[in-house]
Amino acid sequence: MADDQHEEVSKKVSAEEEIRRGITVMRRVVQGRSRGIILDVYWNNQGQLIEPNGHTLTSFIGALVRNEIPITCDDWRNKELNESKEKIWSEIKRCFNIEEERRGFCMKLAGKLLRGFRTFLSSKFLKDADGNFVDAELPKKYESLISAEEWEAFKSKRQDPVFQRISATNRERASSPAYPYRKGRVGYGRLEQSMLQKEESSETSLPAHVLWKEARVGKSGVPQEEVLHVYQKCEELSQSLSPDDTKGILSRALDVPEYSGRVRGKGFGVIPTSLSIKKGKAPSNRELHARLEAMQAELYALRREREASASTVYRDASDKNSINCTFQPNIPEGISHCQLYLSSPYYRMVSKGKVHNVSGVLLHTRELPAGCLKVSVDIAVEPNAALPYPSDDSDATTVHEAVGSFVAWPTNLICVGYETPTKSKSKDNAIPRHTESTVSRKELQENEVSNASVQQKKEVSNASARVKSSCAKKTVARKKPTTKYRSCLRTFLEMTDIPTGGVRTVHMEVGIFGFDYDQMIGNEDFMQVFSHEEIGVTVVNTYIRFLYDKLMRPNGLDVSFGFLAPATVNLGLILSRPDTVTEYVLRILMDNKDAEKLFFIPFNTGGHWLLLAINPIREIVYYLDSLGNDWTTYPDMKVLIDTVLQAFRAQRDIQTSRRGANSITWIKVACPQQRNQIDCGYFMLRFMRDTLALGRLMIPTDYFEEFKCAFYTKDQVDEIKEEWCQFMIELNVFS
């Protein structure tokens, strides 16, 4: 008997010794809140909690629920718990930057953690190695959380025959799983996040069966043969099932019954509605056939309408009686610059381009219509003008849609050498005619620049309001930006020596970076914008000149905002010549020490652009990274900025406590995120553009409400390109 008692006591001691980790109280979070540090939390597209701070929030909720909810609570839906739940949610919001709509997730997570805590207490203290009940005393570790009365009631509940029967059934069901989960506390959401980051994928989610397989890979890194068999079956099913199928691929492969509302292979927090999975019966073959017939009928109707429209345009443009023009062009052989005209409903120039008068030339593998030549459209003077022969291959019907492509054009409406043909010799309709010898290339360029400058003044004079309306949430459709300035600038460059190695300069005055110099710009820089490549420091600097000239100085924002040169402040120089970088940044800050100002630093890490926005007076650094990285990814950058701000504080003779000496605040802004490996530079430029458009010195943690979005669209990136090209034309860099 004594031996049995000694064995029972030893089991209790060993159970407590096994629990080496103390009670989680999350002092770091509470102390950070006292210093004004509110942690940001992030969610994936399915509404699951992810890093950074996902694990911290989960642990914090677990600590709260253990303190606020008694372990005798078996029904989480009990209305008597509403007051305690409200207190838990209030504490969460005090320590974390979290939206109100996330309350449901957090409360479900709290209930799950409470059940886990009760199971832990029961298995560790109330059962021996064989699963038999042990009448244990309240563990000293949990005396601050659990009263003696609660512990006795908890033990009594565990001895109830009904409870033990249910527990045995659940234990039997969960024992010896065929495909055990092997990722511990990571969870599917954070597992998916780590997989996407490791693969550097632009996707936002992974198929359920891919996650399911990875979650069952242990430390060896090799999945079991049974797991691979299920995975292969899922791959085969994914090729044959319809996207509208309401039963998941993984469920079909496992061939097991599902719980209502469950999405297998996605983990806690994911329900069918979060994945936009529609409940209901899949469409029948008859319904699909009817849809197909309706779509085909609509397609045929559109084709007939287009053919009728094209024939009308052809008649208007080709009927000689309707062409009030006596000019018959003499088009030389080869490729020549030209102006393109239309005669209906009135005679006018609609575009510029090049005419290809080459023997045997074809248009998209077809012969040219009679009386026409092949032309390439480079500049759309009248973008909405209808083409005389719409292109069947590119679906282009207007001049704007044909920019950058080849079309057929009547020879009597083509003017070589940028000549202006005459109409009839009527005094009222006479148009002056110029020959190629009387119009020099320089005059042509000056005329184009003049026209572009007038247009630029109209479009950029109120740039702040236009930028604000381009990204803000609106109820009307936004007009898709054109490529007219890119096409125009490219045409001008082809007439210079820049494509063959020539360079030009753009003057950067002292007010931009704190020193004046001439920025060299060459063909490689232009091609980065034309071909949508990763942009370099030259494009960044010249776009900053655009922001300075068009947004800052006209609106008086140069007293509130400033720039630091990215060629001087970058990761490469920080690592090789930190003293040079420190001296430059500190000089700029001290030159502006008397007024609060926000300084933009377009920061290059060696292959990626991000933005630092520094308010030196308030000692705040805003960190905007379109890849979602944290500033801890670049520790040398943070050390240098902190050192400069501390030196700035010392030179201003600002007294602070020893504890506050390192109180520089870094804020990670939830800015739009890029979806490829190229757009980081364009995103960084838009971050500066958005901030200047609003003129605010504080950047919200969740980004500006007026410009908030998950990512910038292609049209929004193209706006940056168009503004840059338009500005280059205005500066006449090709002269």
Identify the pLDDT of residue 328. 38
- For the segment 588-593, the average pLDDT, to the nearest whole number, is 91
Report how far residue 43's alpha carbon sits from residue 24's, in angstroms, rounded to the nearest whole number. Answer: 24
**Long-range Cβ contacts of 701-705 (<8 Å, 24+ apart):** 701/38, 701/40, 701/97, 701/667, 701/668, 701/669, 701/670, 702/97, 702/669, 702/670, 703/669, 703/670, 703/671, 703/672
Nearest to 182 by CA among 226, 212, 225: 212
| Greatest mean pLDDT among 651-655, 660-664, 666-670 | 666-670
Q: Compute and round to an integer the Cα radius of gyration of the chain.
A: 35
76-90, 322-336, 376-390, 512-526: lowest mean pLDDT where? 322-336
Nearest Cα to Cα of residue 616 among 587, 584, 648:
648
Residue 685, pLDDT above cutoff 90: yes
Residue reference for tokens 């052989």: 333
Q: Specify the pLDDT at position 477.
A: 39
Whether the pLDDT of residue 320 is over 60: the answer is no
Q: Looking at the predicted structure, is the pLDDT value of residue 315 above 60?
A: no
pLDDT computed for residue 667 by the predictor: 94
- Over residues 599-605, the mean pLDDT reads 94
State residue 247's pLDDT score.
Answer: 60
Q: Specify the range with the lowest mean pLDDT, choosing from 56-65, 276-285, 358-367.
A: 276-285
pLDDT at 733: 81
- Give the C-alpha separation, 523 to 215, whole Å: 50
Q: In whole angstroms, what is the distance from residue 49 CA to residue 44 CA? A: 7
Higher-scoring residue by pLDDT: 266, 560: 560
pLDDT tens-digit series, residues 289-312: 677 777 767 766 766 665 555 444
Q: Is 588:564 a contact under the CB 8 Å cutoff?
A: yes
Q: Looking at residue 700, what is its pLDDT?
A: 93
What stretches of 217-274 show up as alpha helix (H) in DSSP?
Answer: 225-238, 249-254
Residue type, 9: V
Residue 237 has a pLDDT of: 75
Among residues 733, 731, 712, 735, the alpha carbon closest in space to that of 548 is found at 731
The encoded tokens of residue 408 equal 């057929």
Across 558-673, where does the E strand assignment appear?
A: 561-563, 598-604, 609-615, 620-624, 665-668
**pLDDT of res. 346:** 63
State which of 226-235, 470-479, 591-600 shows the largest mean pLDDT.
591-600
CA distances from 104 to 77, 85, 99, 266, 471 (A): 12, 11, 11, 18, 31
Position 435 scores a pLDDT of 33
% the chain with pLDDT above 90: 22
Q: Residue 428: is its pLDDT beyond 50?
A: no
Q: Which residues contact 543 (CB under 8 A, 6 or more apart)?
A: 685, 720, 723, 724, 727
Residue 591's pLDDT band (cuts 50, 70, 90): very high
Query: What are the pLDDT digits (tens) for 142-190?
Result: 888 888 899 988 888 888 888 888 888 887 877 778 888 888 878 888 8
Distance separating alpha carbons of residues 593 and 586, to the nearest angstrom? 10
Residue 535 has pLDDT above 50, yes or no: yes
H helices then E strands: how many in the chain? 24, 16
The mean pLDDT value of the chain amounts to: 78
Q: How confident is the model at residue 584 (pLDDT cuts 50, 70, 90)?
A: very high
List pLDDT tens digits, range 27-40.
778 777 778 888 99
Q: If you count them, how many residues does the chain have?
A: 735
CA quadruple 655, 656, 658, 662: dihedral positive or negative? negative
Count Cα neighbours of 18 within 13 Å in the Cβ-side half-sphere: 11
The runs of H, that is alpha helices, within 534-634 are 537-547, 571-576, 578-591
Task: Establish how many alpha carbons lie within 13 A of residue 83's alpha carbon, considering only the half-sphere containing its beta carbon.
Answer: 1
Long-range contacts, 648-652 (Cβ 8 Å, 24+):
648/586, 648/589, 648/590, 648/593, 648/616, 649/619, 651/586, 651/590, 651/593, 652/593
The maximal CA–CA distance of the chain, rounded, in angstroms, is 128
What's residue 565's pLDDT? 94
Tokens of 336: 């020549």
* Amino acid 698: pLDDT: 93
What tens digit of pLDDT does each residue of 113-123 get?
999 888 888 88
Where is average pLDDT lowest: 52-56, 111-115, 427-431?
427-431
In which band, very low, low, confident or very high, does the pLDDT at 564 lie, cut at 50, 70 and 90?
very high
Percent of the chain with pLDDT strictly greater than 70: 76
The pLDDT of residue 609 is 95
- DSSP H stretches of helix in 200-284: 208-214, 225-238, 249-254
Q: In this predicted structure, what is the pLDDT of residue 430?
A: 36
Examine the pLDDT at 454 and tell me if it is beyond 50: no
Name the token pair of 622.
């805003």
